[in-house]
Structure 1
Amino acid sequence: MTRAAEVPVVARLSTLDRLLPVWIGAAMVAGLLAGRWIPGLGTALDAVQVDGISLPIALGLLVMMYPVLAKVRYDRLDTVTSDKRLMVSSLVLNWVVGPAVMFALAWVFLPDLPEYRTGLIIVGLARCIAMVIIWNDLACGDREAAAVLVALNSVFQVIAFAGLGWFYLSVLPGWLGLPMVGLEVSAWQIARSVLIFLGIPLVAGYLTRKFGERAKGRDWYETRFLPKIGLVALYGLLFTIVILFALQGDQITSHPVDVVRIAVPLLAYFAIIWAGSFALGKAIRLSYERSVTLSFTAAGNNFELAIAVAIATFGVTSGQALAGVVGPLIEVPVLVALVYVSLAARRWFSPSATPEADHVRTTP
């Protein structure tokens, strides 16, 4: 065993990576304070939309995801699609276990708050297709597996979101003798979110690698080009967080007790789904890289879609919309913390056949 291999992965991260929670915490605080104290900022940012899509948030997500998707080795995707344990486990966790757990937690913790309860159920139905790429990369997960699972979730999101919303809000509560709620959302609204937040950076990343390798070769692409664009992902992440919390800062800081009530089931959800998925990955003998990818793709949620659906159906000032807004307020710091938990738990797995240099980075 080499000396480098004996050093914990967390210790080998760059100072920038180790201080990531500090940067993200500062971005959240800056966004909340800006939204609260700068008159008209939230209204001005919210006005910059095209067909209901917030352009500042869209820009931040695209900038955040592009460098990571440019790192994916697309010629290795067949090794992921042939891994039936990973594919089946991901589908079951995302589309059976995840929504059911959120439904149960929403009713257990918020039985007296129907608006927040409905908002949380909607969050549970919106599977993550954006920030999960960043968390997976920071945790040294399998980039190719993340790309495949996110694409798979995107297809299912377009097909299944409206049907599951109808089932969990209108059918299952009726079977259990509970109050029922309707949900109006079009397939196009969901498909549009997928095309913008995943399709654009995915195509850009694929074309960048294809033409970059063709022009200069893989060695130049991975040792010279990728390090130069690595920091762009961090800038995009921080920009997105600032804008997101600036848009909703006043609403969040005006309802502190409600935020706490909503946060409790969310914390339970992330803990249950992430830990359960990570344990499942180890139990079915996935590598560390694929186990951590399975965990983050199951635990993350598409907050942009959840907020858009809640606002379109119930209104911008509704409790459902507030629950959607609180989602990333809790998800971002929790999943950042789980990145470090993942890296610390890496020693429980046998060394992967994947070269360590592919996964231990000096920049996000």
Structure 2
Amino acid sequence: MSIFERYLTLWVALCIVVGVALGHVMPGVFQAIGSAEIAQVNLPVAVLIWLMVIPMLLKIDFAALREVGRHWRGIGVTLFINWAVKPFSMAALGWLFIGWLFRPYLPADQIDSYIAGLILLAAAPCTAMVFVWSHLTKGEPHFTLSQVALNDAIMVVAFAPVVGLLLGLSAITVPWDTLVLSVVLYIVLPVIAAQVARRSLLAAGGEAALSRVLRTLSPVSLASLLATLVLLFGFQGEQIIAQPLVIGLLAVPILIQVYFNAGLAYVLNRVAGEQHCVAGPSALIGASNFFELAVAAAISLFGFNSGAALATVVGVLIEVPVMLTVVWIVNRSKGWYERGAPAQATRPKSVTREA
């Protein structure tokens, strides 16, 4: 692990401070960057996400995707967490903390809106950022790609019904243009670009050429992650400074939800006998959120200045720092995980996987 990766948590903390400070000092600049969007998808952020995920996608040999079926346990666990546990656990936590425990400290007219924002956040599984988390845990890349693709397909048909059920609405307007464009920008186009580049590199110089390019792009990927943080926190610098108590209270159920779902997915994978390289990304996919869609849906349904929009923004604020702690836990607990009898009993003798 490079020095840059070793101290990534420190760089993230610095980017949060820098982003908030710049957003407060130069709100006009960040408003201009934030307005560069199509269907509420920010294009500068999309470019940075490309730079983050393409190096990870370059490692994936699509011919090996046919072997992903051996990880059916991990896929089953992740689907269970994402669609049968996470939205409902977040709704319960939202009603417990925001609707009851923290009610005296929050604006009374925004309570229901805050809870709605939390539900929107939990009902959309993460997409692009998962490739970063999987890379940091040395996760199985083919499993990660297959799981993300499957979640995207399910999200197209399940997002509205799940949110509608939990919000008690008879119908909900889903920003389909945002959903489709986000999937295309963050998944489809980077996958195509990465595979074209991979084939060209292999044809020109073989595995050695691909390895050289991956070593070169690795710092670019992490630098793009940090630049994305500066932008995201810069966009919300004014709100962070203006409403620190509200943001802190909204963060509580989100934090509990992340650790609960990550831990549950991790333990279920161990009980099921899945490999650690699958359990890690499974836990991370199960815990993280597709905050771009959640923010867009909250704004579309409740308005830009609503409590729902603010609640989804809090998810953006804590997503990266919290997921880095989950990455740390997954990496540090690898020895404990692999001492599990079921995992050892079903672990294949050799695992063919891109480094």
User: 1:246 is aligned with what amino acid?
Assistant: G
Residue 120 of structure 1: CA displacement? 0.4
> Which residue matches 1:52?
40
Would you say the 8 A contact 1:67–1:230 is kept in 2? yes
Matched, 1:354 2:342: no
Distance 1:337 1:39 in 2: 30
1:275 aligns with 2:263: yes
What is residue 206 of structure 1 aligned with on the other side? 195
* Alpha-carbon displacement from aligned partner over 1:258-315 (angstroms, at most 9, x marks no partner): 0111000011001100011111111111111001011011111011111111112212
CA distance in 1, matches of 2:171, 2:10: 40
d(CA) in 2 for partners of 1:285 and 1:219? Answer: 35
**TM-score with structure 1 length normalisation?**
0.88
Matching residue of 2:121: 123
Residue of structure 1 equivalent to 2:20: 32
CA distance in 2, matches of 1:251, 1:183: 27
CA offsets, 1:296-343, max 9 Å, x none?
111110111111111122121111111111102122111101111111
Q: What TM-score, normalized by structure 2, do the two folds share?
A: 0.90
2:224 equivalent in structure 1: 236
User: What is the correspondence of 1:140-179 to structure 2 with a 5 Å cutoff?
Assistant: 140-170=138-168
Aligned to 2:306: 318
Preserved CA contact (<8 Å) 1:162 1:186: no
Per-residue CA shift, 1:20-51, capped at 9, x if unaligned?
A: 00111111111111111214133212222233
Distance 1:93 1:134 in 2: 20
Provide the rounded CA distance (Å) in 1 between the counterparts of 2:30 and 2:113: 23
Q: After TM superposition, give the deviation of residue 355 of structure 1 in Å.
A: 6.7
Structure 2 CA distance, aligned partners of 1:115 and 1:149? 31
Question: Structure 2 counterpart of 1:340, which letter?
Answer: W
1:192 match? 181
Contact 1:138 1:339 in 2 (8 A): yes
CA deviation after TM superposition for structure 1 residue 121, in Å: 0.3
Alpha-carbon deviations, 1:54-105, whole Å to 9, x = none?
1221111111111111112222211113432122222111111111111111
Cα distance between partner residues in 2 of 1:187 and 1:155: 13
- Greater shift, 189-198 or 242-251, is seen at 189-198
One of 183, 197, 210 as aligned partner of 2:172: 183
Q: Distance in 2 between matches of 1:241 and 1:59?
A: 13
Percent identity between the two aligned chains: 32
Equivalent residue for 1:263, pick from 251, 263, 268: 251
Give how far 1:126 is off. 1.1
Shift of 1:182: 6.1
The 3-state SS of whatever aligns with 1:40 is helix
Note the residue ranges of structure 2 that are not aligned, 5 or more in a row.
104-110, 339-343
Give the total of aligned pairs: 336
Distance in 2 separating the partners of 1:271 and 1:293: 14
